[in-house]
């Protein structure tokens, strides 16, 4: 699996997890959902994704979006 697919998989998992936690514990978990969404939006425009940088350091194969 390359960096692009891992970024989408991890971001999607974080969003689903934070929505579930907001229903079970506190509405404040929705701020985490918003943070992940904003990070994905800025990555679409700038091409910079902190998670992609971390995955690259760990040696994950690069994809097309995040080099």
pLDDT (tens digit, 9 = 90+) per residue, 21-48? 999 999 999 999 999 999 999 999 998 9
C-beta separation of 38 from 9 below 8 A: no
Statement: the pTM of the whole predicted model exceeds 0.75: yes
Which residues, 6 or more positions from 4, have their beta carbon under 8 angstroms from its beta carbon? 52, 63, 64, 65, 66
Q: Where are the domains of the chain?
A: 3-57
Q: Which pLDDT score is estimated for 13?
A: 97
Cα–Cα distance measured from residue 21 to residue 1, given in angstroms and rounded to the nearest whole number: 28
Q: How confident is the model at residue 65 (pLDDT cuts 50, 70, 90)?
A: confident
């Amino acid at each position: 699996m390359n960096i692009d697919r891992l970024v989408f998989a991890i971001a999607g998992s974080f969003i689903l997890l934070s929505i579930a936690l907001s229903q079970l514990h506190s509405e404040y978990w929705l701020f985490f959902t918003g943070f992940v969404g904003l990070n994905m939006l800025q990555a679409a425009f700038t091409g910079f994704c902190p998670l992609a940088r971390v995955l690259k350091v760990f040696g994950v194969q690069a994809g097309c979006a995040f080099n």
